[in-house]
Structures are given as C-alpha cells and as structure tokens.
Structure 1
Amino acid sequence: MKLWSVLGNSQRLDGGAMFGNAPKAVWQKWIAADENNAIPLACRCLLVEDLAGKTVLFETGIGAFFEPKLRARFGVAEEHHVLLESLAAAGFDHADIDVVVLSHLHFDHAGGLLVAWKQDAAPELLFPNATFVVGAEHWQRANHPHSRDRASFIAELPQLLIDSGRLEIVEGRHSKALGEAVRFEISNGHTPGLMLAEIVATDGGVVFCADLIPGRPWVHLPITMGYDRFPEMLIDEKKVFLADKLQRNVRLFFTHDSECAMAALQRDEKGRYSTREELSQLSAWPLTA
C-alpha cells in the first residue's frame, strides 16, 4: 500500500470552542490564536492506493460547498475546492476513487463530497465511481439530528448518498467494500456512532482518528472540544483507544492538526500520552498489509 495525506479546504475556528473547558493559558502553548481568538485547522484526508486492491479516500474535508456568507461564518479560507487540487497533485482524480470512508457526516468531514458552490445550483455529488461507507448508528443520527448539532449536518447529503446507489451502511467491524483490510470501532463521545477506521498492517497499521483526537493536543486525556456531545464519555473512550494503539504500535492520523499528519504514540511514567515520529505530510508512504 501507499499512503498520501491530502489537504482539503482549511478553517480558522474559535480556540475556546476547539478546547472545551481548557483555559486559554493551557491551549495557547500548543496553537497560537489570532486577534479574533481563532486558530488554524486543517481538513486533512487520507488517500490509500492498493488497499484491498482499491483506491480509498478516508473523509473529504469541508470542501467548498458553502455559500459565501456561511463560508465566512465557519472560517473556511479558500473559495475553490482544495481537495480536488490535492488529489491531482498526488496523481489522482476524484473519479479514480473506489471507496470513500466517512467517520461521520458533519460538514467539515463530508462537505468535500459536494461540488463547489455556485449561485442557484443544486448540491451535487463528486466521486462518481466510489462506494460511500458510513456507520449505521451515525447514519441514523445524520437523518435525525438533535437540535444541538443539527447545524453540523448538510441537510441534502443523506438523500444524495442514497440516490447514488453506492451507499454502504456498516454494522460491525468490517465493511463489504474493504473486508478485513480495514477494521472499524465506534466512539460516541463526539457524536453518536463516530466510526474510526484502522488500516490493518503487519507493522502496526494506521488509524484515522477523526474527531475523537483531532490533532496532537487532544492526545492529552483531559482535553476535549466544546463541540463534543459527551466529553466525559469521550475521555473514557480515548483512554481505551490510546492504550490499545500504543500496545499494538498503531500510528495516529490527524485530520485537523495544521502541522502534523501522522505520529506514533508514547506514554511517560505518569501515564501521560504524547506523540513521537511526527510527519507533516505523507507522499506515497509505504505500508505493508
């Protein structure tokens, strides 16, 4: 297998919201805020060639589907669809993708499925040859969101996925599209049914951490986001998740860390987790199944 980190459209969001109840005196040591208290965030995707014989994209970032007013509100930096450019730079087109794995359907992880916004144009799916893989529990959440997170979803997206005829809703640890090459586990602290995908490999593998651990600062167990539905549950899930990945030498792939794409884990004598072997980007990075 070969792995690429591919960037989608970037964001700047309020640092306080991204770090929940952690005070600024703590989190500003990790990420500097601007004059509006906003911090830079990537929307990074993972592209894998020859995974179960297929070309697979894990998530699609926020994309460029927002109208200008909403793009400004949610701090999206670029007007054009950056993910398509990043795929091209890696030598791929969106039509080359066989499978798109979606940890969840919040707009900053699934908005890149859609074409860029145009005045008076209806939303339209990209990736015409891909199977779209979504977890069953989160699929229900996306179709029946709570009022607290309704704005995090793209209202038209579920029906577009259904109409494509290429939607696979996953129950259990494996999908039909990828078989045992990818193992899923479920987290509920950020959003019900968040699906974490681990690429199984002989040398430890790679897990797409999604919003359970958006970047290196959130490896610290007490650190959560204000966007998390159930922060205490998320911390408990993170304890189990990190202990397992450290024991099996599984690398962490970060979607929102603006400076680090992937890292290995370590833990000190007091049980505190941190990262090592940090990579800012992946370009045809090899992984053996």
Structure 2
Amino acid sequence: MKLYPIEAGNFKLDGGAMFGVVPKSLWNRTNPADANNMIDIAARCLLVEEGDRLILIDTGMGNKQSDKFFGYYYRWGDHSLDNSLKKYGFHRDDITDVFLTHLHFDHCGGSIQWNKDRTGYEPAFKNATFWTNEDHWNWAIHPNEREKASFLSENLLPMQESGQLQFVSRNNGPYVSKSELDFGVLFVDGHTEKQMIPHIDYNGKTLVFAADLLPTVGHIPLPYVMGYDTRPLLTLKEKALFLDNAVKNNYYLFLEHDAHNQVCTLQETEKGVRLKEIYTFAQFLE
C-alpha cells in the first residue's frame, strides 16, 4: 500500500461557526482569525494505492460553482486536486474509486464537473466508482433546512445518473472493520447523518481520516464542536469515544481541514485528551 496527501485547495470559514459556543478568546489561540473573523481551512484529501485500485478519499470543493459562491469562502494558495495528483504521477482518469466521507460541498464538490459545452454536469472521475452509504445519500438528496445549502444537487445527482454510485455496506454497529474499500469505517451521526471515518492500516500503524469529526488540532478539546453540526450533543458522545480510542490505540489522525497541520497523535492529560505530537505526512510514512 502507498498513501499520498492530495491538497485540493485552501479556503476560509467563519471561526465562530467552526467552534460553536467556544469563545473566540480561546479558539483564536490555535486558529487565529483574520479581520473578517475567518480562519484558514484546508481541503486535504487522501489517495490510497492498493494493488490495482487507486482510491481517493474526498475531493474538495471543485471549481464549477459561480464566482459569487466561491466569494463566500475566500480561496487562497495555489493547491489544486489535479496538480496534487500530477505531483505523484497520477491523473484523475487513473482513479478507480472515490470514497466520500459525506456529501457536503467542500468534501464532494470536486467529484462532479461541467461537461464539455457547459450544458450540464458529469463525473470528474470517469473511470471511478463513487462510494457513499444509503442512509447518508437519502439524507443528502432530501436535505433538511439546516443543511440544504451544503447538499448541492449538482454535486450529487450526476453520480447516480452516470451509474457510478455505490453504497458501502453496514452492520448493526457503528464500525465496519473491513469495507468494500478494504479499510475500516466508523459511522458517526453528530455532524451529519452517517458520516464515514476511514481507518487505514499502514505498516503497523492506523491512520484515521478524521474528516469533520475532528477538523483541526484546535478542535481536540471535547467541547470544541462546530456550529455546523446538526446534533452537537451526539457529537460530544461520539467524539469522546473516538478520542479515547485514538489514545488507547495510538491512532495517527489525518486532518482534512487543518491548513497548517497534516497528521497528529493524542495523549491523555489531567485536562482530558490533548495533542501529543504533530507530524508532516512524510514523517508519518517513515
């Protein structure tokens, strides 16, 4: 197995929304805000090369939305999904599977693109199977008022219309030890219905793609829960269990949204679970 970090582009989000009820005087220490109260956010995806499969976990925002849409998110830096793939010798047509932790636009927007004459949309990965789960899919295509601005039909329906959409199987518990993608998947419901958190075994270590269960190192303290979460009290329970498991099993956490830290580990302290070490992805691979 080979793993590659894929930087799909940086943007900014409102710091208050990212930290919910936590005061700015606290979260600003780890995630400093600009004059507009916006904090740096990454769209860091993960490419898994295993045998004849090339699996991309999440795809970032993409580039098909309007300038007005992107104007809300203050994109910055020069990262792009295509350039990041090219850096490792790959092209989007090489991707065999796209695994989507959930279907909010900043995680799946890059999955779909304009067609050649810009009259409609088509999958951006023409040779890939798109993986979500049935419960989350139904949640996304019939969105509630709180989330409908994040579930964009142009990001979702072309996957189904192309015949490239498949659902990950579930059992009765929250964790599937081996999914159709050959890695473990934790299902969590606090942020959105049935978000999927991949657990990947690599050279005797477990790398967990933290997605929106733990967006940045600044979100490690238990009460630091995003205002975007649909069920924040459930997030607290899921996060507490996850943090405990991360410490006990020495998980390496792959941080999708932390623009300045790629991977971290955790430790138990007298104040609860806190940051242990920060790694670059290259250091994790060593």
- Quickly say closer, same or farther: Cα 1:218–1:148, change in 2 above 3 A: same
Matched, 1:153 2:151: yes
* Higher-RCO chain (CA-CA 8 Å, sequence separation at least 6): 1
More strand by share: 2
Could you tell me how far 1:135 is from its partner in structure 2?
A: 1.8
- Contact kept, 8 Å, 1:213 with 1:219, in 2: the verdict is yes
- Give the paired residue count: 280
Given residue 58 of structure 2, which amino acid in structure 1 is its aligned partner? E
TM-score (normalizing by structure 2): 0.91
* Structure 1 segments unaligned to the other structure (5+ residues): none
Given residue 60 of structure 1, which amino acid in structure 2 is its aligned partner? T
Matched, 1:175 2:179: yes
Q: Which segment drifts farther, 163-172 or 234-243? A: 163-172
Aligned pairs (5 A) from 1:111-122: 111-115=109-113, 120-122=118-120
Distance in 2 between residues matched to 1:230 and 1:222, nearest whole Å: 13
Q: Give the equivalent residue in structure 2 for 1:46.
A: 46
- Quickly say closer, same or farther: Cα 1:131–1:120, change in 2 above 3 A: closer
Aligned pairs (5 A) from 1:121-270: 121-172=119-170, 173=176, 174-176=178-180, 178=181, 181-201=182-202, 203-270=204-271
Given residue 205 of structure 1, which amino acid in structure 2 is its aligned partner? T
Q: Which segment drifts farther, 109-118 or 53-62? A: 109-118
| Residues 63-113 of structure 1 deviation map (CA, whole Å, 9 limit, x = unaligned) | 2121111110233347x9811111111211111111111010000000111
TM-score (normalizing by structure 1): 0.90
Matched, 1:61 2:65: no
Distance in 1 between residues matched to 2:76 and 2:166, nearest whole Å: 32
Matched, 1:5 2:5: yes
1:110 to 108, 111, 128: 108
The CA RMSD over aligned residues, in Å, is 2.2
Distance in 1 between residues matched to 2:203 and 2:94, nearest whole Å: 27
Could you tell me how far 1:142 is from its partner in structure 2?
A: 0.8
Given residue 100 of structure 2, which amino acid in structure 1 is its aligned partner? L
Q: Give the equivalent residue in structure 2 for 1:72.
A: 71
Distance in 2 between residues matched to 1:118 and 1:72, nearest whole Å: 24
Percent of pairs with identical residues:
37
Distance in 2 between residues matched to 1:76 and 1:154, nearest whole Å: 19
User: Any runs of at least 4 consecutive aligned residues in structure 1 with deviations exceeding 6 A, and if so which?
Assistant: 116-119
Distance in 1 between residues matched to 2:283 and 2:271, nearest whole Å: 35
| Residues 207-245 of structure 1 deviation map (CA, whole Å, 9 limit, x = unaligned) | 111101011111111101111111111011011111112
Q: Give the equivalent residue in structure 2 for 1:94.
A: 92
